[in-house]
Amino acid sequence: MINGSTRVFALLGHPIRHSLSPAMHNELFRRLGVDAVYVALDVRPDDAERVADSIRTLGLAGCNLTVPFKERVVPGLDALSEAAACSGAVNVVLSENGKLIGHNTDGEGYLAALREELEVEVGGRRCVVLGAGGTGRAVAAALAGAGVASVTFLNRTAARAEHAVSTLAPRFPGVRFGFAPLTAAAFGASPWDLVVNCLSGAGVPAVLGFPVDGLAPGAVWTDANYWMADPPLLSACAARGVRIQRGIGMLLHQGARSFELFTGHRVSSDTVRGVLNIGGW
């Protein structure tokens, strides 16, 4: 029963109708007897600078953030976790003693899913990240922290990719960082060991013509988006024997970590998968 003391958590983003987060969190609240409710709020992108104040005004106990608010909320927060500060993006906000604390579970969730699903360790790999937004930077930071050899951002806007490199490179001096345009020529210039597609739907056309034949032996192509029915080039990679990973595993792991931050209850990715009635990866 929802009452006057029920804590309210929310997902803030645009668009959000595809999100599985409300179903996941509300079922976990029910199973664990947590007096809380989770709602999805579609917020206009033009209101991004007001999101932090809105969290305070509404008294939300915490929230998840998706595009386009992961980066734009940062100036309004009181403190950031190490992962959030490193990536410059936030996907979890907690209200603690009147202060808003930003966290980022994307990179942690990505690595956990990669290890669990494909038993892949990333140390020494040459990585290319498609997209330099909040998710791309969070994943890149996690990869750098795990000891990859290099990370290159391919992005439609060069300035955004350059900013990502200038932010991350000083934190990880042992990793080579670079950036280039989001083009087939730039993608084909190196035999990548690991590809991470962090582009939204608008970036799909640019990726469709990328040459996958030049990927290194043992390469892995991963996609951070779980809502696309047919993510770009996954089928082409699978047909050529390149191992692939869809975004659902990352969702399960980062969602489990978000729930732990919200409630203090640790849940496994298997539990989250069962809650959402998701079979294989």
The number of residues in the chain equals 281
Residue 99 is a catalytic residue: no
> Which residues on neighbouring strands pair with residue 41, listed in sequence order?
12
CB 71 within 8 A of CB 133: yes
Dihedral sign computed on CA atoms, order 40, 44, 48, 49: negative
Q: What dihedral angle (degrees, nearest 10) is formed by the CA atoms of 114, 14, 26, 75?
A: 80
- Fill in the amino acid letter for 48: A
Task: Give the pairing of strands 92-96 and 99-103.
Answer: antiparallel
CA 201 to CA 8: how far, in whole Å? 30
Q: Which of 25, 70, 125, 253 is catalytic?
A: 70
**Are the beta carbons of 73 and 51 closer than 8 angstroms?**
yes
Whether the CB-CB separation of 99 and 112 falls below 8 Å is answered with no
- Backbone conformation region of residue 89, classed left if phi is above 0, alpha if psi is from -120 to 50, else beta: beta
**Strand pairing report for 92-96 and 62-65:** antiparallel
Distance between CA atoms of residues 87 and 104, nearest Å: 8
CA 239 to chain centre: 26
Q: CB-based burial of residue 2 (10 Å sphere; 0-12 exposed, 13-18 middle, 19+ buried)?
A: exposed
CB 145 within 8 A of CB 82: no
Residues annotated as part of the active site? 70
